[in-house]
Structure 1
Amino acid sequence: MVGHSRIRAWSPSLSGVDEVLYADITDHAYPMHTHEAWALLIIDKGTVRYDLDRHEHGAPDHVVTLLPPHVPHNGRSSTPHGFRKRVLYLDSSQLTEDLVGLAVDSPTLNDPRLRLRVHQLHQALRRPEDELEAESRLALISERLRDHLCRRVASRGPVRDPGLAYRLRDLLDARFVEGVRLQEAAATLHAHPAHLVRVFSHTFGMGPHQYLTGRRVDLARRLLLDGMAPRSVAAEVGFYDQSHLNRHFKQMLGTSPGRYARSGRPSRNEARPV
């Protein structure tokens, strides 16, 4: 039965992700089936039991599950209360076919940092205006998935390449209004996208998307104090729309662009010189 299932699915603009699926399943059991893409799954409520390559597995809410393409699997709730899941379907640009056997052997990844990153990517994908953030998070997730499958997670430490980090910062400084896609930056600087994100974050203590957003907010502040209307400022500094500006402006400064612009103006009750 599927009467009490709630489904939301869409194809994001982010290259590397074919589909995003949210599902709140109460009374449905998935039959054996396959996918062409890699299914990266996190559970927000309940526990899923599934068979993969004739072996039973469990997906509780604190792990990440990676189901490889073309390998039959099913899925069902382990309790009468159902489960709620979020799935990213990744194409072969993120994980290659030669990793399928490793994923069949170890589909369950008990990695809190990876689970947090998957959750953060889901949040970014709900905001199509934050393309660089989504690209950056996907690059780090795909790298960590490959490391898990190849058993390299424990060996990866801090990456120090300040020269590359500063070159990326220069590129972001030159184009923070129009924006820079991560793949474009990687091609320009001849570096892997995930490596770019990691060296930048290690050098400056923030991700490239956070730096770019900060530059946009900084310019927005100056334009607002010069008298430009908030709705015009958003487009002028590279934000998707006014709500995009409002969200990041308030997150950074604790107030809205409109209130910030009015903050230095004399109020009606302010004493005037005699």
Structure 2
Amino acid sequence: MPTRNWIDLKQDALSGIETMRAHFEGHAYDPHWHDSYLVGVTEQGVQQFNCRRQKHRSTPGKVFLLEPGDIHDGEAPETGGFTYCTLYLDSHWLERELRSLFEQTPDNAQLSFAATLADDARLAMATANAFRTLHGEEIRIVRQTALDGLLSSLTSHLHWRTLITPDPRLPLVAQRARDYLHSHMTQDIGLDDLARETGVDRFRLTRAFKAAFGVAPHAYLIQLRLAKARRLLAQGELPVSVAAALGFADQSHLGRWFQRAYRMTPADYRRRCSNLPD
């Protein structure tokens, strides 16, 4: 039976914001994360996903709010699937715009969403309007006005979270392993490398890492590379070059993981999000 899933993705050249409208039936996508803030609205059906160790069900009119690094999956538990629209807000853009709205903002702090799901009609309308104007490539003043409306509606759902290093809420072993993965993400890292770096055996390391971040170290490394791949592809880099730069075995290896996480090929993503010719 042919799939009825579809994705419509664009990127706004001025703000760097990606806009996506999609429909999925059954399994939507495997666990993954983004390095941007996600603000989206479920338009039709039931959108079910796991995030922050909870299962969420977003129904029409509800807004879902994900922070950079929030690992999430997706599925349609009911016949007919679900449709949604989403904005991927660049973290630097969002923090810069919000800091300009307030006379005083805290230093050494990161924006955080108060909840993963919001039942807020004003925010839902602002999100849908921002999506329509950006995705529809309206003139610049219209796009900026819609984004200002979105920012205004978001403020009641945001707070500043103090950045503490190391984070006392997470095991130090897991944080050290994560930092090592970030600084060596293009290398052929083994569990023995992480164990040596953290001073514990591989089994304790894996248990601590999964408890802290919800995935095993190898899965975290793959997602780290995929997030970087999105940025490089949006800049016009060719999939074969991206695969080589990020430590994938070849272009097909990158393509398999990219397809599982984002339900599109690297070449398709590059075509939709860059203005460069193939």
**TM-score normalized with structure 1 length:** 0.49
Rg larger in structure: 1
Q: As a proportion of its length, which structure holds more strand?
A: 2
Structure with bigger RCO (C-alpha 8 Å, 6+ apart)? 2
**TM-score normalized with structure 2 length:** 0.49
